[in-house]
Every structure is written in C-alpha cells, then in structure tokens.
Amino acid sequence: MTDFGDVIFSAKNEVLKSNSIESLEKIKVKYFGKNGLINNEMKKLSSLDAEGKQTIGKQLNLFKREFSELILERKDFLRKKEIENKIKAEFSDPTMPTRQNILNLGRVHPITQTIEEIVAILGSMGLRYVEGPDVEDDFHNFTALNIPENHPAREMHDTFYIGSKEDKKNVLRTHTSPVQIRSLKDSNLPIKIFAPGRTYRCDSDITHTPMFHQVEGLIVDKDLSFSNLKWFITQFCHIFFNKKDLKLRFRPSFFPFTEPSAEVDINCFRKNNKIYLGEGDDWMEILGCGMVHPNVFKACNLENKETSGFAFGVGIERLCMLKYGMPDLRDFFDNDLRWLNHYGFSFFNYPDLNWE
C-alpha cells in the first residue's frame, strides 16, 4: 500500500478538474466501481495483519466518505454552472430599443391609416364592423336599394359588369350601400353597423379612379329622426378632423335609397390650390346621407315593423386627402415609394384622436 496516498490525491484532483456531470460519473466508477481502484485496495485488506487492517481500513473508509462528499459538491457546482450558462445564452433584454432602420423600413398606406381611424371612431360610437363582398349581385347593389332596372341612377354608377353585359347579374359593387341590405336581412334590430371597403366604377380621370374606398354606416331602430343623423355625422366629423369648431352644412340631395337625403359639406377656405378646413366660408362636400327609404325596408321584409333608420356613405380617399393635405387622388394607387415614404404612417402610429 505504498502508493495509496497517491491514489487518494489523484482521485481528488480528477474530481476537482472534471467539467461535466458525465465525467464525474466516470471518475466515480473508476475509483468505486466493482473493479475500481479503491475496491481493489479493499480486497487486499484480507491479506493484512490486524493492525494493518485497522489503519488502512480506517483510511479507506475516511477517504470513501470524503470522496463521496467531494463528488456531491462538484456535482452541485457543475449543475449550477450549467443553469447559469443556459440563462446567459437565452437571455434577451425586452427593454432594449429596436434598431432604428427597422422602424423606417415600411410605411402604412394613408388609406389603411384612415380606415383605422374610422374604425376607431365608429367602433367607439357603438357601431359594429361588418364586411360585404366586392362582387355583388344586381339585387343587393341596385334593386333592393330602390334602384330598379332602367332607373337613371344605374347609369350614373358606371358599373363594371361581371360576365356578359346582357345578363347583368353580377357586378363589382359600385358603392358600399349593398352591405346595408345584407345587414338588414341578416340582423335583428337594433342594427348599428359600418362597412368600409373597396368600390369600383368604370371611370378614370383627375378626380376618379376605377377602384376607390367607401365606408357605409347604418343605424336602424325605433323612433330615429333626422336630428339623430345630424348629431351622429357632426360628432364623427369633429372627431375625425380633430376640429371642434368645424361647421357642417346639410344640403338637400337625392339618393334612391334614402328619403329625405342630404349631402354634407364642411366649411373651408381655399388659397393657392390649398384647402384649409374649419376656416372661411367656402364649402366642401364630404358625404351623402339620409333616412332609410321605406322601399329599402320593404325589400328586406321589414316594412311591417316600426322601424326607422339613417344611413351614410363616405369616400375614404376624399376624407384622407382633406385631412392630410394630399393634392392628387391618383397618387394613392401609383405605388411610388417616395410618395409613400412622405405621406405614409409609421406602424406604431395608432390613430391619435381627440375625443373631447
């Protein structure tokens, strides 16, 4: 047993140098396994005299205890280190600022931004967001809206017909008003909806594009009157344009699906091709509205109920141009990045509306 001290020394050394739990296990087996070095020494004990058995046996047992404790300590240390490393590797700081250029990579299109603003306002005024299809049938786009065949209003709509012009069954919707019909037929009273979306007319010049956007609003309940409509539209415009003193003018007009009908103008001031809203005494038309026509209720089988309602339809491009001072409608659809970078909105620019 002359080299016993060396065995103990190298065993402890190996434990302290080991860098993983697996290697610790191997060291344990090397010394305390069935054929391990310490076991072999134990076996040799029987050949010793009583005194030798006692001293060496004591040393071996003492070492056994120390070695087990050492292994446990090392194991504990290695486990903690493993967890620390994992935390370090997986750590990410959520408070770190985003790289600047990522924020500037894209822009929200002004139409999208304007729709989001409208959604925020009408949603908070208690209206439900609904959608209708872009391809409509003749009934929803015209007939149910009190525009029967051969009615002159059909000619005003420059309709894109789907399929043959003769069968005239399906159209690209010429306005969002057909969503009124879908809601009247599908919902129980009271109905409070708005429907933004694309609309199409076969028309293209400085103030018209073949595709444009509208938002339709419809409120149907008992005992609604024109003053409810007036209050609603005024409230919407004041919030949308963020001008409490914006003046509105309700001018008598004609739409087949409303009676009485009105067009709404807001007051403005024009100078050097620029329009200043809420100033001066010029007027700018912004939307159409009116009380739902009895024939519309009739087409939706609601004529026997004590129903009354009002509706409105707004061109979204027009609202957007007026609010953000854009001079040309056609720019909206040119996909010119310079224009988008200038007029577009940041992704983080949530509609900032003044509700007072």
Q: How far is the CB of 230 from ligand DAH (least distance, A)?
A: 13
Compute how many other C-beta atoms are within 10 angstroms of the C-beta atom of residue 231: 11
Of these, 142, 200, 255, 332, which contacts ligand DAH (CB under 6 A)?
255
- Please list, residue by residue across 174-193, b when 16 or more beta carbons sit within 10 angstroms of its beta carbon and e when fewer do: bbbbbbbbbbbeeeeeebbb
Ranges within 160-199 binding ligand DAH (CB under 6 A): 175, 177
Contact 319, 286 (CB under 8 A): yes
Query: Interface residues for ligand DAH in 275-334 (CB under 6 A)?
Result: 288-290, 311-313
CA 31, CA 234: separation in Å to the nearest integer? 90
Q: Cα Rg for the chain, rounded, in angstroms?
A: 40
Residue 345 binds ligand DAH, judged by CB under 6 A:
no
Size of site (CB under 6 A) for ligand DAH: 11
Q: Report the C-alpha gap between 261 and 327 in whole angstroms.
A: 29
Q: For ligand DAH, which is the closer residue by CB, 54 or 225? A: 225
Residue 258 found at the interface with ligand DAH (CB under 6 A)? yes
Q: How far is the CB of 258 from ligand DAH (least distance, A)?
A: 4
Closer residue to ligand DAH (CB): 67 or 312: 312
Q: H-helix or E-strand containing 279?
A: none
Closest residue to bound ligand DAH by CB = 313
Reduced to 3 states, what is the DSSP secondary structure of residue 2? coil
Cα 58 to Cα 76: distance, rounded to the nearest angstrom: 27
- Which string of x and - marks every residue 209-228 that binds ligand DAH (by CB under 6 A)? -------x------------
Query: Smallest gap, in angstroms, from Cβ of residue 125 to ligand DAH?
Result: 16
Q: Which residues bind ligand DAH (CB under 6 A)?
A: 175, 177, 216, 255, 258, 288-290, 311-313
